[in-house]
Structure 1
Amino acid sequence: MNKPVSAPHPWITAYPEGIEWDVPIDITPVHEQLLASCAKMGDAVALDFMGATTSFRRLGEKVNALAGALQSELGVAKGDRVALLMPNTPFYVIAYFAVLRIGATVVNCNPLYSLDELSHIVSNSGATVLVTLDLKATFPKAEKLVEKGHVKKLVVAHFPDALPGLKKILFSVLKGKDIVKPATSAAAQSVISFEELMTRGKTPAPVRIDPEKDVAVQQYTGGTTGTPKGAMLSHANIAANMSQIDKWGCGLFYPPSKVVAVLPFFHIFAMTVCMNVPLCSGAQVVMLPRFEMKAFLSLMKRTRPNILPAVPTLLHALATKDTATAEILAPLEVAISGGAGLPGETREAFAKKSDAILAEGYGLTEASPVVTCAALRVPSKPGSIGLPLPATDLRFVDLDDPEREVPQGERGELVLKGPQVMLGYFNDEEATKAVFTANGYLRTADVGYLDEDGYVFLVDRIKDLIISSGFNVYPRVIEDAIYHHPAVDETNVIGVKDEYRGEVPVAYVKLKDEQSVTEGALKSFLEERLSKLEMPREIIFRDELPKTMIGKLSKKDLREDYENNVKAGR
């Protein structure tokens, strides 16, 4: 039996059987959990990278070896920041846990960021050591960071060493041009080999960590709306979110489960759900450096994973591409959608291909990141982002007055409390103060409501809200309507300035292959589904819509495109 509902927590009665909200939360630092898992699991496979496997025992040995070398060879001490600039590889996993093992702080860097963005992150964080790969996609930027004086030491891994035997040879022969030679670069004096550090045989000295005060990860966020801010996530924050997810999963992330890691580890969603949770539970992680349909389907057939954390665009691709057959997707038991709102059309199309439970979740960097999730073992309410995770308290507050809670069912800004909520923004007291309410709830800038059963529904981002003739217009409502047209593959709606209404919606649309529809025909289709204020002033067709590194459709890039190209008549 579930616990009786208390007035402030209306979601408790909707909790799945066997899950309780008011439970103890484990805050054991994640690296301690990982090393315990490595000791317990021994020769079981921890990592599969394109066919090259690493056992739990070997992973633990490598983490300790690199940790010892970082301490003794590079002088990395407790509280120091170490930047990681690389896609998913075993090197990332080893470096991440090695940094935490010695009490230093991980600073994740997106390889697709511009040099200016990376310069800000590295200089703001104070990271003097950066771990990267000898790929043209990563090393040149790392080299520039040294030249600019932001980084003193580069730890560089040789990418082909992560591949299985034949692939390693073929990569060197066929894609040798993608590899750079750090020893001959302008930053050569600052370069030290990842592999060389591993062979030093150094044992890391013990470091005392206060889980609730010491920062494990400094994750930069807010780059789409301004200068990125460093969210300080303590060891307790990260461990708490892992514990919450573990309790919500009811054993889902334990062996013999296999978790697909195609989302990048440098993103908070993948870091927690694709890496930390399964590895610390003894489950196998199967990796790709990025999403490519052919490679992904090959991975599915070879490893037969049962858990797929994904973003909506990835799920949309699987649901609509003929090569992603029901037979290939059959091993999946659970697909977890996060990072952006899941369109109803994508949910329906995916259900036709796969019997897996498709659970939509919600989180943000400042919450380590998961806040709510649909049930992972039983079906949940479609369209909802689920229920608050155990020990997570949330409210909806007035859009103009965040200190005033709105009644259940009324739209407002989502605010929350919980053990997974960050310590604050690094060296930014003003921004930290602004993101919390007077009674300590984290403001999310997301608009939504609690329904009568306590399920959470989101409507849109405050920053994406379009104020047209004084009325609130939500891009997601428009996008959902457009997705109902059978010719539409992807859509993204932005607000643009208008002299009469203040702002009006503009829709960007990508059509399915061999499909066609005119702007007029699409608007006629939308007339019964949208109000006059919601009707896009323009519908702009594109062969591709811009996406972020994690695969989310990017409104930032569309706003720039509209200003620089559409508005300018190009």
Structure 2
Amino acid sequence: MGPSIPLTVTPAPTTTALLTEAVRRWPERLALDFLGATMTYRELAAQVEQAASVLAGVGVRAGDRVGLILPNCPQHVVAFYAVHALGATVAEHNPLAAPEEVRAQLDRHGAKVVIGWEHSISTILAPATARFARTVLAVDLTVAMPLRTRLLLRLPLPAARAQRAKLRSAVPEGVGSWDKEVARAKGSGAPHTPSSPEDVAVLLPTGGTTGMPKLVPLTHANLTANVAQSVQWMPDIREGAETFGAVLPFFHAFGMTLSLTCAVALGATQVILPNFDVDMLLAATQRRPITFLGGVPPMFDRLEARARERNVSLESIRFSVSGAMALDGEIARRWEAATGGLIIEGYGMSETSPVVLGNPFGPARRPGRLGIPYPDTEIRIVDPELLDADPLAADVPDVPDGQIGELLVRGPQVFGGYLDAPQETADVLLPGGWLRTGDLVSRDGADGSVALADRRKELIISGGFNIYPSQVEDAVRGMPGVVDVAVVGLPHEDSALGEQVVAALVLEPGVSIELGQLRQWLEDKVSRYALPRAVHILDDLPRTQLGKVLRRAVRETLLQHQV
């Protein structure tokens, strides 16, 4: 079945072309606002030229890889486009990831230059080993801040010293200063090598919810296709007139596409925060009203509650996009009431640049559902066991509408395989370009919208029955006194029955919930075989950088309690 919505927006050939066109059309428009320090598109392009000259001077050439270990900041945007100006590849890393994880990724892709936040560099380079015999340049976040802020940080006061310690760190000997090198560089000496659409633009680590992250290469064509698809999806967005709240991490596929590519393609002003902070974001939107905000449900929930508490208006925010986890209908209702705008949710993954499904921007949106296929994107929903039995079979039928199956996707935003991992690639890429997402979904036959059931790897099989943790969790969340929940499968006493359902609860202060009470609450809400057989009370649930609960980590914690 072909795509139901054709792509009518022509993708740019490369990310470099996105910035070039933005500078041509909106040279004096503000591109970035970082805590009040601003930069126009013309100034951004000039800094990119200087940064490209620095990278060329330390030996970066077309096809090389440059590692970025940075939070959200103007230096991140500049470095991203400077690397691409030389025809090289950006290798993104989470600056808050475990040092060993980042070291392993650096070793795997072999970046010859690393640009990183001082805190990250000092931690990752702590063991002085030969494998770090590469050029390393440290970023000082305070350099990009307003002069007044920098002066306040220098005051000999305990509060200023504490804030400096959060932002800055000493780095090992031999590490250069990215900021100083860029500031004194000439902007015209970099030997630009135009990338082609099929060149790899970025390497992204996967979310890591199932073990050590793999590295996902995405080409310029992948990235710019998703930009074109997203621009078409938002017909009422105003080119050269929007202000994006850039709070999602740039090193993540969701934040990268919204901020590093889509916002630039639209000539938007980006209000950048180094991390999500409710009070900082409210202050930012009072200083420069945000019109477009991408986030995850907990962000919208907390922001709306704090704005209501402090009587701060959110009515400038016309469009909001939620991802990474299901958007609760009550959060969506409160958010739209507070902003007067729309919030939709979509679905994607690093391997798809990332968006493949989205709710329509309009009355047809359905909170709690992933949406319909993006332009030029095809989907199938099939029985995963049939694919397991014969991955090369081209005639596996789709399951009927309303039934749960594994989501397969195909489109110009889908990647071509993991870096140096042929077996892992073969496990997910099928003949004809179809990608196995590993997500179990169902489709509504009336409007074609897709709903998530669960990750296939987190499916619980008990006594031969398939149990979807998300469905049990949704029912538990409505129980009075429950703040959050994760449902996992643990080994059953009778191994022949497989796993038993276990609920990990975070409760309101002073609340106590026993297993019998939980089962009574759920008995008319889920199937009997899905009722938890044990309950554990935790102080908090482990989460990814975007706030998604790590069920794998919860399961490991509960297994340790059993020992």
Query: Which whole-Å CA distance do the structure 2 matches of 1:322 and 1:356 have between them?
Result: 15
Superposition pairs of residues 113-512 of structure 1, within 5 angstroms? 113-134=97-118, 136=119, 138-144=120-126, 147=129, 149-150=131-132, 152-173=134-155, 174=160, 175-178=163-166, 180=168, 182=170, 185=171, 187-203=172-188, 204-212=190-198, 214-221=199-206, 223-252=208-237, 254-321=239-306, 323=308, 327-402=312-387, 403=393, 404-409=396-401, 410-452=403-445, 453-500=447-494, 501-512=497-508
CA distance in 2, matches of 1:458, 1:562: 25
CA 1:49–1:244: 2 relative to 1, 3 Å: same
Whether the aligned pair in 1 keeps the contact of 2:85 and 2:194 (CA below 8 Å) is: no
SS in 2 for 1:493: strand
Letter in 2 for 1:527: E
Deviations 1:148-169 (A, max 9, x none): 5245111112221111122222
Counterparts of 2:512 and 2:237, CA distance in 1: 43
Does the 8 Å CA contact 2:292/2:318 hold for their aligned counterparts?
A: yes
The residue type equivalent to 1:178 in the other structure is K
Of stretches 347-356 and 104-113 in structure 1, the one that deviates more from structure 2 is 347-356
* Distance in 2 (alpha carbons) for counterparts of 1:324 and 1:93: 34
**Contact 2:8/2:232, CA 8 A, preserved across alignment:** no
Taking a change above 3 Å as real, the CA distance of residues 158 and 53 of structure 1, as seen in their structure-2 partners, is: same
Post-superposition Cα deviations, 1:108-134, rounded to whole Å, max 9, x if no partner, equal 111221122111111101112111122
Q: Residues 525 and 253 from structure 1, CA distance in 2 versus in 1: closer, same or farther, beyond 3 angstroms?
A: farther
Q: How many Å apart are 1:227 and its aligned residue?
A: 2.9
Shift in Å at residue 515 of structure 1? 5.9
Deviation at 1:320, TM superposition (A): 4.6
Match of 2:562 in 1: 567
- What does the per-residue CA deviation read over 1:300-331, in whole Å, with 9 as the maximum and x for residues that have no partner? 32222121111122123235557556752222
3-state SS of paired residue (2:386): coil
Q: How far has the Cα of 1:145 moved from its partner?
A: 7.0
Matched, 1:36 2:21: yes
Structure 1 unaligned residues grouped into runs of 5+: 1-7, 13-19
1:50–1:288 contact (8 Å) kept in structure 2? yes
Per-residue Cα deviation, 1:488-540 (whole angstroms, up to 9, x for no partner): 33222222111333112222222346766555433322221112221122232
CA contact (8 A) 2:60 2:112 kept: no
Q: What does 1:67-106 align with in structure 2 at a 5 Å threshold?
A: 67-71=52-56, 73-106=57-90
SS of residue in 1 equivalent to 2:384: coil
Give distance in 2, aligned partners of 1:313 and 1:55: 32
Contact kept in structure 2, 1:326 and 1:353, CA below 8 Å: no
Asked if 1 retains the 8 angstrom alpha-carbon contact of 2:202 and 2:218, the reply is: yes
Which amino acid letter does the alignment assign opposite residue 446 of structure 1? D
**Could you give the per-residue CA deviations for residues 79-134 of structure 1, whole angstroms, max 9, x where no partner exists?**
11111111101011111111111111111111221122111111101112111122
Q: What CA distance in whole angstroms lies between the structure 2 residues aligned with 1:318 and 1:540?
A: 29
Q: Which runs of 4+ in 1 moved over 6 A?
A: none
Q: Determine the C-alpha separation between the residues in 2 that align with 1:365 and 1:296.
A: 26
CA distance in 2, matches of 1:337, 1:228: 23
* Inter-partner Cα distance in structure 2 for 1:158 and 1:362: 34
Letter in 2 for 1:206: H
51, 54, 59: which one aligns with 2:44: 59
Q: Which amino acid in structure 1 is aligned with residue 106 of structure 2?
A: V
Give the residue type in structure 2 aligned to 1:431.
E
User: Does the 8 Å contact 2:7/2:229 carry over to 1?
Assistant: no
Seen in structure 2, the aligned counterparts of structure 1 residues 370 and 107 have a Cα distance that, compared at 3 Å, is same
The answer to whether the 8 A contact 1:152-1:190 is kept is no
Output the CA distance in 1 between the equivalents of 2:310 and 2:514: 31
Aligned residues: percent identity? Answer: 32
Q: Secondary structure at 1:188's aligned position in 2?
A: coil
CA distance in 1, matches of 2:23, 2:309: 34
Give the AA of the match of 2:237: L
- Cα distance in structure 2, aligned partners of 1:80 and 1:456: 39
Q: How far did residue 334 of structure 1 move?
A: 1.9
CA distance, structure 2, for counterparts of residue 244 and residue 179 of structure 1: 37
What per-residue deviation string (whole Å, max 9, x for no partner) do you get for residues 52-97 of structure 1?
Answer: 11111111100111012201x2110111111111110101111111
- Distance in 2 (CA, whole Å) between partners of 1:491 and 1:145 is 38
1:552 is aligned, of 526, 545, 548, to 548
Corresponding pairs, count: 545
State the Cα distance separating 1:445 from its structure 2 match: 0.2
2:390 aligned residue: none
Query: Which has the larger displacement, 347-356 or 551-560?
Result: 347-356
1:146, distance to aligned residue in structure 2 (A): 6.0
User: Is the Cα contact below 8 Å between 2:137 and 2:176 reproduced in 1?
Assistant: yes
How many Å separate the matches in 1 of 2:139 and 2:22? 25
Say what the alpha-carbon RMSD is for the aligned residues.
2.2
Distance (Å, rounded) in 1 between the aligned partners of 2:514 and 2:285: 38
Letter matched to residue 315 of structure 1: F
Separation of aligned partners in 2, 1:476 and 1:162: 42
Residue type of the alignment partner of 1:90: P
Partner of 2:454: helix, strand, or coil?
Answer: strand
Q: Distance in 1 between matches of 2:334 and 2:294?
A: 17
Per the alignment, do residues 424 and 216 of structure 1 end up closer, same or farther by CA in structure 2, a change over 3 Å counting?
same
Amino acid at match of 1:76: V
